[in-house]
Amino acid sequence: MSDPLPPDLAQAFGRSSDRRGGFGDRVHYFLETRSTNDVAASLAERGAPQGTVVLASSQTAGRGRLGRSWYSPPAAGLYVSVICRSPTAAPYLTLAGGVAVAEGVTSATGLPVEIKWPNDVVVPSNRARLGASSVPLGRKLAGVLAEGASTAGGIQYVILGFGINLRPAAYPIELSDRATSIASELGREVEAGPILVETLVALARHIGHLERGDRTELLARWRTFAPSVVGSSIECETASGRVAGTSAGIADDGALLVRVGNRIQRIISGEITWR
Ligand code: BTN
């Protein structure tokens, strides 16, 4: 059973209903749940429509990409999952999720952020801004986990899960020097509602473009948010072994391109280390 939506979030949803394209018209809020992605998947299995949002104040088994867990203490972050049912948009939802969060955070708070392939949202470090390194060694502010379900007939739905660090938390030691929050970066308290709503507005817009067969704006926005995608020294652990080279952009299908000697290699998924 869900819990009542806190008044600040209800107000933010109420004020933005004409801009969200139906995303967030149905919201299921939980003070605590295991993983909002699991709740959203079970709602999708029971027919919940595209744009249904599952939101929690804390998760006891939040998960991230590549089998990691996602630290989800109460009220420190936005833990949100969105049901997407568009087969045309499905291949690009990983990129769309990163861009939507980057646009949502920037437009609601003014904090400049970058994306690291495929969709980690980071705050670039001062070191990178001062030009001491050509690679933006940023601290992670948000991550996106896209999980799809398909049948022989094709893709049924994709759950896009967003974890956005709003406030500082007692991060586990392995995260403490790699994670940051919007409030720590801005040096002031932040409101969850506008960040969530602006992220949903951006997601609805990008999915709308993709449904009309237009991926140009999404790819252009992604490339603008991701300067590290060209010219950075990277290493990547892939299913078929380790790749070391120089990032050479993304292909129009979202694959990371890496120059290794005089060859260009495509990376579809894997753990990237940016040097
Ligand atoms: C990453 O590894 O960067 C992706 C993190 C995604 C975390 C979010 S929090 C809401 C949703 N529910 C989950 O269990 N995971 C995603």
Which CATH number is 268's domain given?
2.30.30.100
68 and 102 co-located in one domain: yes
Contact 98, 119 (CB under 8 A): yes
pLDDT at res. 269: 83
CA distance 35 to 32: 9
Q: Which domain holds residue 179?
A: 7-225
Residues 142 and 270 placed together within one structural domain of the fold: no
Domain stop point among 203, 225, 247: 225
| Cβ neighbours for 199, distance < 8 A, ≥ 6 positions apart | 80, 100, 101, 103, 104, 105, 162, 164
Which of 225, 240, 258 is the C-terminal boundary of a domain? Answer: 225
Cβ of residue 184 lying under 6 Å from some atom of ligand 1: no
- Does residue 242 share a domain with residue 215? no
User: Could you tell me the pLDDT band of residue 137, with boundaries at 50, 70 and 90?
Assistant: low
Is 73's C-beta closer than 6 angstroms to any atom of ligand 1? no
Ligand 1 atom at shortest distance from the alpha carbon of 65 = 2
pLDDT, average across residues 122-131: 62
Per-residue pLDDT, averaged over 167-187, amounts to 87
For the segment 152-166, the average pLDDT, to the nearest whole number, is 96
Q: What's the pLDDT score for residue 140?
A: 94
Domain count, the chain: 2
Mean pLDDT, residues 225-248: 91
Beta carbons within 10 angstroms of residue 108's beta carbon: 21
165 CA to centre of ligand 1 in angstroms: 11
Q: Is 76 in the pocket of ligand 1 (CB under 6 A)?
A: no
Q: Mean pLDDT over all residues of the chain?
A: 92
Q: Return the ligand 1 atom nearest residue 144 CA.
A: 4
| Any domain includes 13 | yes
pLDDT, greater one: 171 or 206: 206
Question: Residue 77: CB within 6 Å of ligand 1?
Answer: no
Residue 1, in any domain of the structure: no
Q: Looking at 136-150, 170-184, 194-208, 248-262, which range is the least confident one?
A: 170-184
154/61 same-domain check: yes
The residue contributing the CA closest to ligand 1 atom 10 is: 79
Which ligand 1 atom lies nearest to the CA of residue 37? 12
Same domain for 71 and 160, yes or no, is yes
- CA 28 to ligand 1 center in whole angstroms: 17
Domain assignment present for 2:
no
Q: Which atom of ligand 1 is nearest to the CA of 66?
A: 2
Q: Is the CB of 161 under 6 A from ligand 1?
A: yes
Query: Is the distance from CB of 266 to CB of 238 less than 8 angstroms?
Result: no
Instruction: Give me the pLDDT at residue 133, please.
Output: 40
More confident residue, 132 or 219: 219
The atom number, within ligand 1, closest to the CA of 72 reads 9
Confidence (pLDDT) at 126: 60
**What pLDDT shows up at residue 127?**
41
* 31 DSSP 8-state letter: E
Can you give the pLDDT at residue 92?
Answer: 95
Residue given tokens 């996106």 in the structure block:
144
Kindly state if the Cβ of 35 falls inside 6 Å of ligand 1: yes
What is the DSSP track for 81-108? Answer: EEEE--TTTGGGHHHHHHHHHHHHHHHH
Cβ atoms within 10 Å, residue 158: 26
Of 239, 111, 234, the residue nearest 183 (C-alpha): 111
